[in-house]
Amino acid sequence: MRMTQQEYADRNWELAYELFNRPGIEMIRPTSEYSPMDATAHFTSPGGTRKVMLIEVKERSFDYSDVAEGGRYEGGLILERKKYDRLRARREAILRAGTDVRCLYLSVTADGRAVVHDVTELPDSVWIGKDMNDQTTISDTETAKTEKKVALLPVSGAVLDVFFDFKCRKQNI
């Protein structure tokens, strides 16, 4: 049975919360069903700068070895331009003096690897056209395809790349 949009949002929140919730970091769950991100983290750096991380989560159906060198998705993890634009718009809306706002893209592979990319400033040159399913939650090869603008994020460019025991993955959310 396919998960609902709200179930996906709940699951993504849990994944982000488990990885980023640490002492000194305030995790905030989006209140809107149509939020451009899955979680927001706030903290103050030792130098006194207010830091905000806008976190988008993508749970992958393949293992880390599939995106590592020599894997079938060796080119990198896909980030859709539409998602990136929504994160950037949200960033611009909350950007103010004395606050550093970063956009993070968290990919969680089927074998429990957490790969985080800082996508705050991606140049126009990274965007390519790629035929993809209309709905990214469907992996059916017979689903209608449409060309989408995407960036391929190599795992070697990640700011965090760790195995993580996500407790929420053991539940049927």
CATH number at residue 93: 3.40.1350.10
The Cα–Cα gap between 84 and 77 comes to 13
47-83 residue pLDDT tens: 888 899 999 999 999 999 999 888 898 889 999 999 9
The angle subtended at Cα 5 by Cα 41 and Cα 120, nearest 5°, is 35
Q: 138 in a domain, yes or no?
A: no
Q: 57 in a domain, yes or no?
A: yes
Q: 132 in a domain, yes or no?
A: no
Q: Higher-confidence residue: 120 or 69?
A: 120
> What total number of domains does the chain contain?
1
Q: 30 in a domain, yes or no?
A: yes
Q: 46 in a domain, yes or no?
A: yes
- pLDDT at residue 172, as a whole number: 40
Q: 83 in a domain, yes or no?
A: yes
Residue-level length of the chain: 173
11-30 residue pLDDT tens: 899 999 999 999 999 999 98
Buried b (16+ CB within 10 A) or exposed e, 48-87: eeeebbbbbbbbbeeebebbbeeeeeeebbbbbbebbebb
Residue 9 lies in domain: 5-121+153-170
Q: What is the pTM of this model?
A: 0.86
Q: 143 in a domain, yes or no?
A: no
Q: 131 in a domain, yes or no?
A: no
